[in-house]
Structure 1
Amino acid sequence: MRYEFADCVLDIDRHVLTRRGEAVPIEPQVFDLLELLAESPGRLVARDEIIDRVWNGRFVSDSTISARIAAARKAVGDDGKSQRIIRTIVRRGLQMATEVQRSAAPAPERDRRMQRLRYARGSDGQSIAFTVSGDGPPVLRVGSIVYDVEAEWRLSSERTYLRAMEAKFTLLRYNKREQSHWGDPCHASYEGVDEDILAVTEAAGFDRFCIVTELGGLFSALRFAAKYPERVSRMAIVGGWAEGRNHREGVEGPDSIRNLILEGWDNPGSGYAVGSLLSYFPEGPLETVREIVDEMQALYSVEQKLYQRDSGNTASVLHLLPQVQCPTLILHGRNSSVHPLSEAHKLAAGIPDASLVVLETANHIPLPGNDVYDTYIQALTDFLLEP
């Protein structure tokens, strides 16, 4: 679906706004707001409807809403004084004040937060939730910011990523199963993770496929690629690391991220909790980081977050790297302080058929709204589509 108005085109399938033929980078909430208004030009869209659609019904301040409206106006070449395109109806809501043309018949209204879950059975008999969406070559996603397919769908930044991937690939995502008890993180066991992946991909009908792995999902992806090389055609590693903090030279003093988790994870909206994630995403956008923290605090206890942090600090995948046989792309932020670029160099040097793309950002993984986000998605999808 494409909405054309003034000198703008809002492409819903590609999740892109263009103005005078040039792409305009905008945050996910701003895109969702424009889509909501463009769907029904001339109709009054009430404040409550805006909050329900753009923020999934969560509480947001008036200043946050005003900031997103101002950003939407700026993106389409409007402003609060003229209101040629987005009109404010005082104390009631907003209205798309210009004519809108659709490039195709409108699709039936659907709940953007709904997805179809299926279940596979792991080697231990436990069920594993997964979902398949999109159309194109098969791609398995291993690991993400939240490791939960339902939580991913609730996050606006993740939905932006998923739409981009689903436009070109058949995307398979599954829930990473947490350990039933928290033992010594220095000896964290990844036994069985490769069998979980095998179970899920077989249930989804994936025979040979690409893998995209992010953050700590790297450990599971490498184990699977090493054990089942005939199934993995390509692998992209985003924000990975070869050796955890405890193995790196020159790293001294307390783990500040761990301390932030310890101090504030149990307090909803805590600045300490937000600070722990801003270490990964110092360029934000801040509203996106806050949304992710809210979701993660609902998913994980402080004990789970500390275990994840400690096990990542003590982990090393150097022994697995030579066993990877497929072409591999490593994407890494140049100025990431959590896992420095030197860790990406270790991955690229250790995997026989690997290449490295350095992204000009301090974010460990680019988020929608970052200047390099489109570059990141283009590099990722181009690699996965190579024959």
Structure 2
Amino acid sequence: MEHHFADCTLDDARLTLTRGGSAVAVEPKVFDLIHLLLRNAGDLVTRDRMVEEIWGGRIVSESAISACIAAARKAVGDNGKAQAVIRTVARRGLMLVAKVSREADARPSVPAQAPAATAQRIRYCKNEDGCAVAYAISGEGPPVLRFGPLQTTDLEMEWAYGLHRSCISSMALHTRYLRFDNVGSGQSERVQREIDFETEARDAAAVSDAAGFDRFAAVSFSGGCLAALNFAALYPERLTRLAIVGGYVDGRSRRSADASPDALKSMIAEGWARPESAFASAFAMSYFPEGPAEEAREVLREMQAACPPETMLRDRDVINDATVAPLLDQVRCPVLILHARDDAVHPLSQAQKLAAGIPRAELVVLETANHVPLHGSACWENYNYTLAEFLTG
């Protein structure tokens, strides 16, 4: 069904929103809110109903709801002052006040169980050393390359798990999203090799070439920033912009002359091979103290499957001793740094150091203690919208 209102069209079969004939990138929950208001055009939609239908009845902060409403207004060309499309009913909820017309989509519909909707297509390319690197592409739109946390991604498990699938779908809603597994982990060739971040960057270039990406944006998560910043220095002509989530300049061994022993390494040694052990759970909660617990466990299960314990332990020392400080002033593209205010793994001071060292970089501080926001985090909507808006320009 196509819903026409103001100068917008929302197609609830293809999950698209256009304004003035141009596609508008929106996060899934923002899309769902607009759809909910359209289905009830002219009627009051209470905040309780919004929480029930958009967030599944979970406890949601006022800031998350407000961010979602603000994003919905922006998407349809409205604002809190004009309220020409979405009107606030004080202390009660929202009402869509624009005139709405509807028409059934005459185009052939895609079967619900079409292979494209249910199957992920993993492809392979060879890096400079001849190793097989697995990659997958989702969605249509501006090209975006992901640098995932080193050695801890698995394309197949990401597709199988609900949390990761929703994150992929969110990015694929408005970008052509390219993900790959590092050599030695996930679906890539499981060979033992020393971590070298310039080599990891060259692997990313090989994947980009195979996928037909010439110039593109990139997003890096956690330790993936080490390879991403090497890529930005090696291939400045290819990178249009770079987002860094949970990144850092110096590994923990370099941050202090008297750095304490790596507790996370001890947790890996004791619990990595036993998925439900207390040590493995402690590792997950170190990164995601705010949970939700099930989503944190899902991240842990993927990491454990992606990389064997001996590889994690071997690589941990390299990562702890790494630094990208000499590369920062070589980055030429726009950079957005998103970092949790209370991150205990890589402190906010590391994000500030990134922002201070990279020319014209911008820093957004996220109100969470989770290393990277999870789908159930209170800051998720604001984080996801900010990231998508930056990556799509």
Distance 1:282 1:307 in 2: 26
Aligned to 2:146: 141
State the one-letter code of the partner of 2:172: E
Distance 1:138 1:311 in 2: 31
Given the superposition, is the C-alpha separation of residues 252 and 227 from structure 1 closer, same or farther in structure 2, using an over 3 Å criterion?
closer
Q: Is the CA contact 2:198–2:230 (under 8 Å) kept in the aligned structure 1?
A: no
Aligned to 1:169: 175
- Secondary structure of the 2:250 match is coil
State the one-letter code of the partner of 1:181: Q
State the one-letter code of the partner of 1:162: I
> How high is the TM-score relative to the length of structure 2?
0.71
Distance 2:46 2:315 in 1: 44
Q: How many residues align?
A: 310
State the one-letter code of the partner of 1:118: R
Are 2:306 and 1:326 equivalent residues in the alignment? no
CA deviations 1:214-239 (Å, max 9, x no partner) are 11111211111111111000000011
User: How do 1:343-354 and structure 2 match up within 5 A?
Assistant: 343-354=350-361
Moved more, 171-180 or 286-295: 171-180
Distance 1:342 1:172 in 2: 30
Aligned to 1:155: 161
Aligned to 1:280: 287
CA drift of 1:295 comes to 2.5
Aligned to 2:132: 127
CA drift of 1:294 comes to 2.2
RMSD: 3.1
- Secondary structure of the 2:204 match is helix
Moved more, 289-298 or 367-376: 289-298
Query: What is the aligned counterpart of 1:15 among 2, 23, 28?
Result: 28
Q: Is the CA contact 1:239–1:365 (under 8 Å) kept in the aligned structure 2?
A: yes
Distance 1:308 1:284 in 2: 26
State the one-letter code of the partner of 1:108: P
Query: What is the aligned counterpart of 1:180 among 175, 178, 191?
Result: 191
Q: Percent identity?
A: 42
Moved more, 110-119 or 358-367: 110-119
- Secondary structure of the 1:338 match is coil
State the one-letter code of the partner of 1:115: Q
Aligned to 1:98: none
User: How do 1:34-73 and structure 2 match up within 5 A?
Assistant: 72=56
Distance 2:191 2:311 in 1: 11
CA drift of 1:346 comes to 0.7
> How high is the TM-score relative to the length of structure 1?
0.72
Distance 1:280 1:25 in 2: 27
CA drift of 1:249 comes to 2.8
CA drift of 1:12 comes to 9.1
Distance 1:342 1:217 in 2: 18
Q: Is the CA contact 1:155–1:292 (under 8 Å) kept in the aligned structure 2?
A: no
Distance 1:292 1:260 in 2: 16
CA drift of 1:190 comes to 2.6
Distance 2:129 2:318 in 1: 23
Distance 1:273 1:280 in 2: 11
Aligned to 1:303: 310
Moved more, 234-243 or 172-181: 172-181
Distance 1:138 1:350 in 2: 26
